[in-house]
């Protein structure tokens, strides 16, 4: 009888341990689902901002190129008009176009101290002489030359960060829908593009899976911070 009771107690203990383990596993799975859902909301918000940042970076680069090309022609034509009459006032049309160029440059380029010092010609009294217009045009032209590489770098950076954000969002959406960790192929199928390799690790089965541990360690905000 004593042995029977002992066996029953052992069975009950095993059952209790299994139930406790199942409960811990269920609680951990629920906590992860909650954490992933919060990460997804954060990542989607960051992605929206990055989409806008990429759009603005590309728009500024396109405007920069168009203004640079326009300025080459403007400078050449004003230089021709200035020959032999450098002390004459520029026409109002030339002054207006010079002011447009200054405004456009300042709307594209931010933080250049030399461009910041350039002022528009005040449309009152006498118009500026041709050398003054040429001097300003050359200064703006030099500024555009200095900042071309910066705008290209910014476009590349924002595009890279958007790719990171899209990868993270795709992985989190897959987990939310399927309740399992996505493989690299799973994420690639959602993106319809190749995701960054550094967001995946190789498991014991030889497959590549999204690195949620890295996401938890670094955090969504730091992983896909929008460039300022």
Say which residues have a Cβ less than 8 Å from residue 78's Cβ, sequence separation at least 6: 90, 94, 130, 133, 134, 137
When the pLDDT of each residue in the chain is averaged and rounded to a whole number, the result is 89
pLDDT exceeds cutoff 70 at 5: no
Q: Which residues pair with 129 in a beta bridge?
A: 89
pLDDT digits (tens, 9 = 90+) for 153-176: 999 999 999 999 999 999 999 999
In a domain, 101, yes or no: yes
> For residue 91, is it within any domain?
yes
Over residues 106-121, the pLDDT tens digits come to 999 988 999 999 999 9
Give the residue carrying structure tokens 């003054």: 132
Is residue 51 in some structural domain? yes
Asked, for residue 61, whether it belongs to a domain, the answer is yes
- Count of domains in the chain? 1
Residue 111 resides in a domain: yes
Q: Which domain holds residue 215?
A: 36-223
User: Could you give the CA distance from residue 211 to residue 164 in angstroms, rounded to a whole number?
Assistant: 13
Burial classification of residue 150, based on how many CB atoms lie within 10 Å of its CB (0-12 exposed, 13-18 middle, 19 or more buried) = middle
pLDDT band at 22 (very low <50, low <70, confident <90, very high): low
14 within domain boundaries: no
Residue 190 is assigned to a structural domain of this protein: yes
> Is 70 contained in some domain?
yes
Look up the pTM and report it: 0.78
CA distance 182 to 111: 43
């Amino acid at each position: 009888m004593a042995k029977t009771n002992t066996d029953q107690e052992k069975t009950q203990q095993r059952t209790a341990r299994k139930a406790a383990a199942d409960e811990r596993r269920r609680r951990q799975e629920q906590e992860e689902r909650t954490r992933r859902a919060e990460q997804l909301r954060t990542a989607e918000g960051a992605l929206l901002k990055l989409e806008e940042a990429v759009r603005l970076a590309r728009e500024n680069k396109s405007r920069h190129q168009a203004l640079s090309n326009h300025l080459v022609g403007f400078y050449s034509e004003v230089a021709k008009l200035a020959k032999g009459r450098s002390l004459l006032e520029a026409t109002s049309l030339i002054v207006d176009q010079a002011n447009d160029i200054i405004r456009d440059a300042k709307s594209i380029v931010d933080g250049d101290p030399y461009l910041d010092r350039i002022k528009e010609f005040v449309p009152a009294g006498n118009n500026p002489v041709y050398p003054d217009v040429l001097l300003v045009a050359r200064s703006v032209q030099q500024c555009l030359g200095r900042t071309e590489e910066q705008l290209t770098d910014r476009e590349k950076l924002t595009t890279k960060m958007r790719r990171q954000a899209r990868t993270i969002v795709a992985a989190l959406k897959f987990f939310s829908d399927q309740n399992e960790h996505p493989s690299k192929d799973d994420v690639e199928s959602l993106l319809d593009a190749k995701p960054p390799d550094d967001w995946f690790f190789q498991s014991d089965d030889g497959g590549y899976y999204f690195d949620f541990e890295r996401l938890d360690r670094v955090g969504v905000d730091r992983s896909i911070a929008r460039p300022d």
